[in-house]
Amino acid sequence: MASLQSGTVLGERFELIGELGSGGVAVVYLAYDRLRDERIALKVLHPHLSGDRITRARLRREVQAAGRIRHPNALVAYELHELDGQLALSMPLHTGSTLGDAVAARGPLDGARLQAIAEQLAGALQASHRVGVIHRDVTPNNVLVDEQGTACLSDFGLARLDGQRTATATTAMGTWGYAPPELFEGKRVDPRADLYSLGAVLYFAATGRSPFDAANPAAILQRQLAGNFQPLAEARPDVPRPLCAVIDALLATSPDDRPASVGAALDALQHRAAPPPKRAPAPPPAPEPLPTAAPPGAPRSHLPEGAWRVEVSERSRHRSRRRELRKLARNRREGRLDAHLRDAFTAVGVEVRRGLGLPIGATPEQELARAVARIADLPPEALEVAPAMLERHFELVRGVSEDAAQRLVNSATGAGFRARMSRTDTPPASDLGANVFVDLVMFVVAAILALFSPGVAQRMRERRDGTHQLPLAYDHDLRAALARGYTHLLAAPAPRTPRATHTTATPSATAAPSATPAPAPSAKPARNPLHERAIDAIEGLNVALRDEAARLPAPVLDDLRRTSSALRDRANALAERIATLDAELANSVDADEQAAAARVEARIERLRTLERAGALQDASELPKLERALEAHQRAAESAQDLEDAHTLAIAHLLELTATATAARRDLLADAGAISAPLVVERLQREASAASSALREVGSMSPKAQGAAAGSRQRT
């Protein structure tokens, strides 16, 4: 659009002084606001956005939502104006420059300034997420810095323009190298998307380049999806290691591998000093004999019995890491530990991961073990990582129910493996990634080996024919896999009926019938991963309370226990709301309603043009179309209500997880390093915030349900 001239007065209120900058959404002017009697920044949107009624309605909602953000480092708009046919946002004037310009002019930031800006931006995002607003476009050009090193995050709400569906739009909603991978994969984003963008911005501030710098957008996206970036500690050895570790964690490809929430990231940033020395850990409990029957009231069980197996195979991008794990396991058995792997087990690495709300040493293999433990209703750390899980292709479980198998397939896929489920009476796959070309190569290799190594050739034939037994990680009976201190949780399983395997042998006709098995426990409804993580964090807090009960005053201990129970209730309630909203969003008509509204609006404009020309043939059509347009807009707004409620619920579930994790860490710290009443206050504050979020979500979603249902009836 052509720039407006200095001295132009818009809406008889804003006198333009000059242009400050422009972008793909708007032109920014320095203006004098006669009503406020101050200089402001006025963002005048481009005509193609100002002229779209749906965009105007959406932007108005975004400005209203962003207006609830209260933080000194969040630069939010005052209000939305329609000025002489143009759409504009009035904003506080920030006299600094963008972070991109500042780094270009003065070079990358030193460690102290990087630390300060990281905390400021994380604080702004935390305030945003607490009111259910995801920024979606955190980039160096949307961060403003002044000479004192203060940073402000701007452009809240402007990333959801151009009529794009908020959850699944791609390039219109992000910037190459800064938008998270899940956005480009078409997935619904949550507040952890902003964490990824924050990590990319901080990496840029430290190095002067994007972490995924490449020649073209396709190459950038490829590097993002592969998580291919130089660790910040290598690019900037002078930056403190804990700060580098936090930034690297923010850039994890999977949202589940990032900090639990922006609150957890901020907490880790603010605890950058070396952690206080830990008290000597209590000696582990002596091994207990396995009971022959489950203790009265014990809520534990074996894996639900059935006729299904789960096969898992490593992906090529993880082979180098897993090769090192196999080497490490071999060296541990031989009493050696490679020097280049020791850094992964240092105190700094452990403390940073704990501060971020991530499981300590949570490798994909440990995540699989946790998933099996959850299926068996065991604590997350109850199972050891089975040696078979380091093989390239293995059976994770065998003889489990179909529901348990499906849940474990989902968990394995989420942890970065290939996985499939099949019945135990069918042969296992030779390789989950096999294809015709691989089969041909295997045939040729087998023929050559048959001449020189008959034993190897025989094993290859067994794998190809389905008679090869894959290494098994966990059977239905988990007693042999229990970690030290958990052996009392499982009793001997009920007798099981023999099941046919994939071998060709048939059972004898005279075999004695086995005892009738006890009915398998019914599988609990699957929790979503965020809920599982929250429950794990609260369970960890409860374990810490048991461990530290002796040194805590009785009233404080009672408060902690009550608040922990309240947090669990809030987590369950939030998860139920999220599940309900997920189902409603799956049937959302937002995109259809927007398209229909655009068609109706175009038809209205055509008829009005004909009316002005005196060529309108049916004057009764206009009122009908206007009523239809209003109905479509209401339905689109209702669908947006669902989206906002979904975001708000997820944001508070993430913050609840981070708070429980931080409380556990604080309770396990040195006795003089933390005040237990402060931990109680923090937990109670989070429980109260979660309760408020539940009430707000409840007030948002019923309206959306009714309107969306009405829209579906019209459709």
Say how far apart CA 572 and CA 391 lie, in whole Å.
36
- Among 52, 137, 248, 257, the active-site one is 137
* Residue 485, C-beta contacts closer than 8 angstroms, at least 6 positions apart: 284, 285
Contact 381, 483 (CB under 8 A): yes
In this structure, the dihedral spanned by the alpha carbons of residues 266, 268, 269 and 275, taken in order and rounded to 10 degrees, is 150
Contact 77, 67 (CB under 8 A): yes
* Burial (CB count <10 Å: 0-12, 13-18, 19+), residue 670: exposed
* Burial (CB count <10 Å: 0-12, 13-18, 19+), residue 451: exposed
Contact 393, 412 (CB under 8 A): no
User: Residue 513 — left, alpha, or beta (φ > 0 → left; ψ -120 to 50 → alpha)?
Assistant: beta
Say how far apart CA 410 and CA 418 lie, in whole Å.
10
Per-residue exposure over 604-619, b if at least 16 CB sit within 10 Å of its own CB, e if not: beebeeeeeeeeeeee
Annotation says 137 is catalytic: yes
DSSP annotation of 527 reads P
Q: Which of 693, 684, 649 is nearest to 663 (CA)?
A: 684
User: Edge-to-edge, what's the strand order for the sheet holding 79-83?
Assistant: 9-10, 14-22, 26-33, 38-45, 86-92, 79-83
Relative orientation angle of helices 262-270 and 347-355, to the nearest 10 degrees: 140
Reading the block at residue 248, the tokens are 């690297």
In this structure, the dihedral spanned by the alpha carbons of residues 108, 113, 114 and 120, taken in order and rounded to 10 degrees, is -130
Say how far apart CA 673 and CA 655 lie, in whole Å.
23
Q: What is the CA radius of gyration of the chain?
A: 29
- DSSP bridge pairs for 42: 29, 90
Cβ count near 602 (within 10 Å) = 10
Say how far apart CA 573 and CA 430 lie, in whole Å.
43
Would you list the DSSP string of 377-409?
A: T--TTSBPPPGGGGSSEEEEEEEE-HHHHHHHH
Q: What are phi and psi of 218, to 5 degrees?
A: -65, -40
Contact 164, 173 (CB under 8 A): yes
DSSP annotation of 140 reads G
Query: Catalytic residues, which ones?
Result: 137
